[in-house]
Every structure is written in C-alpha cells, then in structure tokens.
Amino acid sequence: MGLLDGSFALIGDSRPGANRVVADRARLPAVHDARSVDLVIFDCDGVLVDSERLTVGVEARVLTELGWEITVDEVVERFMGRSDESMLNQIADRLGRSAAEEFDRVSTEEIVASFRTELQPIDGIGRLIDSLHDGGISTCVASSGSHRKMELTLGVTGLYDRFEGRIYSASEVTDGKPAPDLFLHAAQRMATDPGLAVVIEDSITGVLAARAADMTCYGFAGGLTPADKLAAAGAITFDHMTDLIDRLAPRLS
C-alpha cells in the first residue's frame, strides 16, 4: 500500500479475481522444520521497511479531504497489502476517477518526501537477512508495490543491494494478493518448490495469499496489524525480526 507517484498506479486495472478471498482461514499452518526451508519470501512495506506507518495517515487524511471520511484503522483494514491498482480502483468507484487521480497526485508528493527523509528499515531485519544467507537459505522480495516504488524504499534504507535481481512485483502476475499468484511466481523464479518456501508478511491480505499458495506464513505483529488478526488469517505470529533467527536459522542462533 502506498502510491508514491502517479506512475506507480494504473487506474482502471480491473484484473479478474483481484479481490477474491482465496485462503481457508480455519486451516492453521504447520511450523516448518528449519532444515526444510530453502527460501524465505519477504513482503516489502511493513516487513523490510517501516513505510506503512508513514503512509496510512497521509492516505486517510487525503481521502477524507476528497470526500471519503475514513480513519487510519479503516485504511489499514481496507487497503493494506493490496496493490496500488486495487486501491485506486476502489477510490475511483467511490469518488470518481478524477478524485482518484487527485488522491494519487497529492498523496504521492507527501509520501515520497517522507520516505526520502524519514524511512527506516524494520528493526532487526539486517540481522535476520544475514543469518538466513549465512545459513544457506535463499531470500527474495514479493510485494504488491511496483518495482519503481521498491527501488525507492529499499534504496533509501540500504536494502536494495541485498535483494537486487530477486525482487518481484504484483505487476508481474495476473492476480495480486490475496491470490497466491505472486508468491508462486517468486518461488518459480527462485527455482524453489513452494513447499520449501516460507513467507514473512504483515497484512491479512498477504497472509491469505501465502496460505493460498500452501506456504507457511510468519506474521509480523510489530507493525500495524494485531497478532490475533494475523493468526486468524493463518499466520504464525512473531514480534521482532530477530525472533525468526531461532525458527529459520537455528544453527546460527
């Protein structure tokens, strides 16, 4: 979530199935034996970089000014984890296309400015990435955001080089989260059996996508989505990135 600039969003993309619920919420994930993990797939916003906290307030305020009175919590619930196209389409349906374009323009300016001056990596993420690489576990990024957005957010936080060549966007698949397409695409590009991949997410939409792909999902409860909601969607919750070192790379902890 988070548009950044008009080039990141294509208003009018009504891809089939983009909003369907695709996971069985009642099925709880099995905890992976760390020896069976070949690939860790990271979401970007809210997992690698602390961008959601900078974004949701701007989005709620701008939408309210345009005539859609919405709270920060409602923005998190409705839009977090979904593609920029999905968000803009919902705004266009409710307020009209011109309002969606205005939202994109106004929010872009503020969000980009805050990212360039305030954006930080999620606490502990560097240690986790290092531990996974030292343990021979591959990593990649699979995000609803565009490549251009990730170039900015991962670039200003010093994380881009750690994932260069292994960054995948919802723009590369037919259906974005909560469909499983993006995570399955990432596993295929990384030449990894989906059953040997785990996903790290911070949104309900992302958890549903991971579970629909039959991948174990770890839900980061240190962000904007409470642990109980992540767990209800099918995630194994945790509070700090370094907590996963014991789970995924125990030989190095």
| Digit-coded pLDDT (tens) for 18-37 | 333 333 333 334 444 555 89
pLDDT at 24: 38
| Digit-coded pLDDT (tens) for 88-140 | 999 999 999 999 999 999 998 999 999 999 999 999 999 999 999 999 999 99
H/E stretch holding 199 reads: strand 197-201
Alpha carbon distances (Å) from 161 to 25, 121, 138, 141, 200: 35, 14, 15, 12, 19
β-strand 138-143 against 39-42: which pairing, if any?
A: parallel
**DSSP for 220-247?**
ETTSSS-HHHHHHHTPEEESSTTHHHHH
Could you give the strand order of the β-sheet that contains 39-42, starting from the edge strand earlier in sequence? 167-169, 138-143, 39-42, 197-201, 216-220, 236-238
Nearest to 110 by CA among 143, 65, 46: 65
pLDDT at 17: 40
Q: What angle do CA 187, 160, 156 make, to 5 degrees?
A: 140
| Digit-coded pLDDT (tens) for 199-240 | 999 999 999 999 999 999 999 999 999 999 999 999 999 999
What does pTM read for this prediction? 0.81
**DSSP for 72-123?**
HHHHHHHHTTS-HHHHHHHHHHHH-HHHHHHHHHHHHHHHHHHHHHH--BPT
Alpha carbon distances (Å) from 7 to 26, 124, 151, 225: 38, 31, 13, 28
The mean of the pLDDT values for the chain is 86
pLDDT at 249: 73
Between CA 136 and CA 253 the distance in angstroms is: 14
Using the predicted structure, report yes or no on whether residue 9 has a pLDDT greater than 50.
no
